[in-house]
Amino acid sequence: MGVTEPVNQSTETRQYSHRPASSNESYLVEMDSLRIIIVEDENLLCELLQNALTRIAGFDVVATYTNGQKAYEDLERTRPAVALLDIDLGLGWTGVETGLRLRQDDPQIGLVMLSNYALPDLLHTIPEHQVKGWSYLLKKSIYNIESLVRAIQGAKDGLVILDPALLEMAARQRKSPVHQLSKRQTDILALVSQGYTNSAIAKTLFLSEKSIENQLTGIYSALHINSGNPEEHARVKAVLTFLDQS
């Protein structure tokens, strides 16, 4: 893999110029590829993430960092669509602080928070007007490439994608009105939180898309969400309400 180390760039930044290729595989970066930065102070995990993501068509890891300040300083140059952030960075800003700083300069950037532990109160530390486009994954879940890609794509699309472990914790502790949800509705809400579309949920649960739509209508009603308001993102609101009342 080609690695470019600009003369004026801190050694805390690892800048990658292109993707690896072999005789059997092509990983050329397309013009419309999704630009990603990684902020992770565990070098082995950072390299694992970078190697995994550069092998996914349409993804381009443009830089990695060991601290949030440097990632923020380079934001204008790197122009990422999504940032993967370790919540527990060893020095300087935390992952959440880094995410909030990045959002100040680029409100559209998607953020994927990575943690060794389930932190059910994480989203409540984020200002409500900024919470869309924040995903949350346990580090053990990144080995499931499908889950990792779903979290990244969801963050880019402005969704809130949560690790299944966080949903399970919330389900065990849920209170009114979330307790009104049936098991089927809870299952559907869990899939919504993981970025599944109605079509994907229908295939997973062996139901029709119309049935999923009806179930979602029931979920919105139980959680007092006005799904008819075009300014309200009902799916995101449902996931946040589920957590807020857990």
Sheet holding 110-115, edge to edge: 3-4, 13-16, 59-65, 34-39, 82-86, 110-115, 134-138
Please give the chain's pLDDT, 246 residues, in tens: 443 333 343 334 444 433 333 333 333 334 478 999 999 999 999 999 999 999 998 999 999 999 999 999 999 999 999 999 998 887 789 898 999 999 999 999 999 999 887 765 665 666 655 667 888 888 888 888 888 999 999 999 988 888 877 766 666 555 556 677 888 888 898 888 888 899 999 999 999 998 899 889 888 888 888 766 654 578 888 887 776 665
Would you say 38 and 61 are in contact if contact means Cβ atoms under 8 Å apart? yes
Length reported for the chain = 246
Distance CA 111, CA 130 (A): 11
Distances (CA, A) of 215 to 45, 159, 239: 39, 19, 14
Would you say 4 and 16 are in contact if contact means Cβ atoms under 8 Å apart? yes
Output the pTM of the full model.
Answer: 0.61
The pair of three-digit structure tokens given for residue 221, joined into one six-digit string: 């009603």
Q: What is the pLDDT of residues 76-106, one digit of tens each?
A: 999 999 999 998 887 789 898 999 999 999 9
Distance CA 87, CA 93 (A): 9
Residues forming beta bridges with residue 153, ordered by sequence position: none
Would you say 80 and 109 are in contact if contact means Cβ atoms under 8 Å apart? yes
Burial class (CB in 10 A: 0-12, 13-18, 19+), 92: middle
* Domains of the chain, first to last: 3-161 (3.40.50.2300), 167-244 (1.10.10.10)
